[in-house]
Amino acid sequence: MKLKLQITEGCTCYSYTINDMEYDDLVDNQDEYYNPELVYNTLQVMAKDLESQCPNQMAFELIDNIIAYHRLEDLRWLFEFLFHENKNTKCIDSWTCDECFDTVTVEELIIEVKNLDDIG
């Protein structure tokens, strides 16, 4: 099974997509799709996948502690770090905004997982 993650950024666009569900903000408890369990589980899957690419045990113990002991509101940066540092993250689309000429990009990361129920 696959965990499909996307980040769209540029111009006035910034959103996260987890398995085709779009979030304007992963950690906004006012969002109708707010699901902290999904975010925590997704972070753990992302950390394990990145760990398999560069096994530095001490670094990943630190990441596990960050996930366990920080408030969800403080973890947006960790999601972005794990996403962008993964060598399997790919740019799947980009375009230029007609109004501001900023580049908008959509990047995607797909991670194989044994059971999607473990994600949330």
pLDDT tens for 9-31 read 998 888 888 888 888 777 777 77
**CA atoms of 63 and 67, how far apart (whole Å):** 6
For the whole model, what pTM was predicted?
Answer: 0.80
**Residue ranges in 54-85 assigned as alpha helix (H):** 57-69, 76-85
d(CA 22, CA 33): 9
HSE of 83 in the Cβ direction (CA atoms, 13 Å)? 24
Contacts for 55 with CB less than 8 Å, ≥ 6 apart: none
* Position 110 pLDDT exceeds 60: yes
Q: How far apart are CA 106 and CA 73, in angstroms?
A: 23
Q: What is the pLDDT of residues 81-103, one digit of tens each?
A: 889 989 999 999 999 999 999 99
Q: What is the pLDDT of residues 31-69, one digit of tens each?
A: 777 788 888 888 889 988 888 887 666 677 777 777 777
